[in-house]
Structure 1
Amino acid sequence: METQNLLSVEQKQFFDTNGYIILERFFNEVQVSEFKQRIDHFWMDRGKGNPLTIDCYLDRKDPNSRWLFREVHGDARNHPYKLNDTHLVDGLIQEFSISERLAKILKELLGAPASVCNSLLFERGSQQGPHFDTFYMPSKTPNKMCASWIAIDPVTDANGPLFYYPGSHLMEPYKFSDGTLRATQEEFPKAMDFIRKKLEEHDLKAVHFYPNPGDVLIWHAQLLHGGSAIKDMSQTRASLVTHYWTTLDFPDPTQHIDLGDGRLILKKPHQAAISREEHKMVDEFVNGLTTPKEHRVGLPLNFDPRSYLLMNPDVFRAAWDPYTHYKLHGQAEGRKW
């Protein structure tokens, strides 16, 4: 029996042409209110076994901002932050990130069942510069990835609206030196110069998004987007961002948590973070490094061994010399530093 499509022909054509669609009033006031209460619950329930990680104080541009949520100071809530992968622990977040209706729409856009690969909960704007999602998590199958952005608070010029470039998903993509779309820090400036020229060539302009609570924006993985500056930090702009891959890349059913009704979540561990105690150990480890100068040749001029270990806990826990690991493995793996 054929399932009726939820998107009109015009909506699909709009997505193909512009790289996004907006679904107004997708979630109702009661659902939005429950979501806001759940944010409070997350901050109140940060016991010893809490597995979540948080990227906090994003307004300070600190590259070492990821912490265990249970260890971060409560003041972090007064600054821009993103709470990672709450969909792995909470049923309400799952209902927002991959509701039955949303799962059907994503399948229509992607041509295959979608599976949640990560989620980011914000209470303020990200202020992140323009980027493609493929810079960080490209799908194995080209153009078979997308994201949803769900508004929980009203958005104004004061609280840092999202912006995007309609049609930018159709531009020629920048290929990094390894032939992929995954960004490397060394090449990032060159990539952005390429992108700026393409925007001028196609005369593409940024559009700011001013949704009402409950509205949903779905965008193509190659849609250029980012977060505007926050003018009034006292104004929250809560939102949930979810990224999706498809079963084309993960065909084995055992790779997913099946919530029923076509709702899939990719099985994955929580993102890693260095504990407060390990932060001190990293400092001691870096201060004691005796890496020969010749082993540092060929590294980026501003390579920071401390930042590298803090952002890659597995490297620190394996007692790798950060210079050696980056040269042998980290650069090829696209690790941050």
Structure 2
Amino acid sequence: MKVLTENQCEKFAEVGYLIIDFKFAKLLLDEIVTHVSYLYRKQPCSEFGAPRRVQDAWKSVNAVREVAVSSAVLSALKQLFGREPLPFQTLNFPVGTRQRSHSDTIHFNSIPRGFMAGVWVALEDIDRANGPLQYYPGSHKLPEYSMQDFNLKTGYSNYHKYEECIDRLIRDNGLVAEFGLLKRGEAIIWHPNLLHGGAEQLDPRRTRHSQVTHYFFSDCEYVTPMEGSREQPAYREPLWIPKTSEELRSLSTTSVTKKVRQLVRRIF
């Protein structure tokens, strides 16, 4: 099933992102906000005084999983990348992140390169005041930069230096930011090398409920570039988000069995 027009596919190739309405049920979006809210309470607060995010809420909130494995989303991604999309991570946010600009290729990549995507869904209306997504159209056409390209040692301890290098790259290339001003239910798909981050939250009293799902694609190997190099990749084994309830039950059974075996080993 094709959900994107030829013009939409061409725009994605040109600017590195696409805003689209997948027609998510409003009740489904409300369910995510309601049921993820208790998970936020378990998270440490950020420097802005609010929980920053919850990772992989799909494990306990089925509505999160349903958005991540939406058939319309998967079909759109297959059109854009030509391979089967494989969701492997969700992140849910109650407020804007103010995250500095980066390319996802420093966190996730594939061999062959470039088979990764992010899909960000607005769970409420997003405007300039509540901290929208910020991105740089066309920046996906820049080279993929690793820690080594910036003469940095691998590892998260140098990530702030990587961010400084990206800021300089943006200035040197004269890139101009745009903002994801989305209505509730709309989504933005971005290319793995698109530079993006979180814009300033002008009204700190506002929420900015949203969900992003990260996807790899079939027939690849998967790596964490920040932890490795092109010569010695840091391979990863993603936990794929189950696309059906049957797969979810099977995964849950496997997890319980594994925990029981670990407990038995400790006892005996």
Higher relative contact order (CA closer than 8 Å, sequence separation 6+)? 2
Instruction: Tell me the distance in 2 between the aligned counterparts of 1:132 and 1:93.
Output: 24
**1:25·1:212 contact (CA, 8 Å) conserved in 2?**
no
Cα 1:258–1:79, aligned 2, differ >3 Å: closer, same or farther? closer
1:143 aligns with 2:127: no
Match 1:100 to one of 66, 71, 79 = 71
Equivalent residue for 1:83?
A: 54
* Structure 1 residues not aligned, in runs of 5+: 47-52, 61-77, 271-337
Match 1:34 to one of 21, 31, 35 = 31
SS class of match (2:111): coil
**1:26·1:214 contact (CA, 8 Å) conserved in 2?**
yes
* Structure 2 residues not aligned, in runs of 5+: 223-237, 256-268
1:259 aligns with 2:247: no
Q: TM-score, normalised by structure 2?
A: 0.75
Instruction: Tell me the distance in 2 between the aligned counterparts of 1:79 and 1:215.
Output: 24
Matched residue count: 236
Equivalent residue for 2:47?
A: 59
Match 1:238 to one of 209, 220, 225 = 209
Q: Rg larger in 1 or in 2? A: 1
Root mean square deviation of aligned Cα: 3.5
SS class of match (2:208): coil
For residues 106-165 of structure 1, give each alpha carbon's deviation from its aligned partner in whole angstroms, at most 9, with x where no partner exists: 111221111112111111011111011122222233110000100011112221111000
Equivalent residue for 2:146?
A: 175
Cα 1:33–1:195, aligned 2, differ >3 Å: closer, same or farther? closer
**2:118·2:212 contact (CA, 8 Å) conserved in 1?**
yes
1:207 aligns with 2:190: no
> After superposition, where does 1:249-328 map in structure 2 within 5 Å?
249=220, 256=240, 258-260=242-244
> After superposition, where does 1:115-194 map in structure 2 within 5 Å?
115-177=86-148, 184-185=155-156, 188=159, 191-192=162-163, 194=165
Percentage of identical aligned residues:
28
Deviation of 1:173 (Å):
2.4
Deviation of 1:231 (Å):
2.8
**1:147·1:218 contact (CA, 8 Å) conserved in 2?**
yes
Deviation of 1:86 (Å):
0.9
**2:39·2:54 contact (CA, 8 Å) conserved in 1?**
no
Cα 1:181–1:189, aligned 2, differ >3 Å: closer, same or farther? closer
Deviation of 1:40 (Å):
3.9
**2:22·2:186 contact (CA, 8 Å) conserved in 1?**
yes
> After superposition, where does 1:4-15 map in structure 2 within 5 Å?
4-15=1-12
Q: TM-score, normalised by structure 1?
A: 0.61
Deviation of 1:192 (Å):
4.5
**2:85·2:218 contact (CA, 8 Å) conserved in 1?**
yes
Cα 1:98–1:231, aligned 2, differ >3 Å: closer, same or farther? same
Cα 1:186–1:38, aligned 2, differ >3 Å: closer, same or farther? closer
**1:57·1:80 contact (CA, 8 Å) conserved in 2?**
yes
Deviation of 1:36 (Å):
2.4
Cα 1:38–1:172, aligned 2, differ >3 Å: closer, same or farther? same
Cα 1:244–1:140, aligned 2, differ >3 Å: closer, same or farther? same
SS class of match (1:175): coil
For residues 6-46 of structure 1, give each alpha carbon's deviation from its aligned partner in whole angstroms, at most 9, with x where no partner exists: 11111111111111101136323232222222234656xx9
SS class of match (2:19): strand
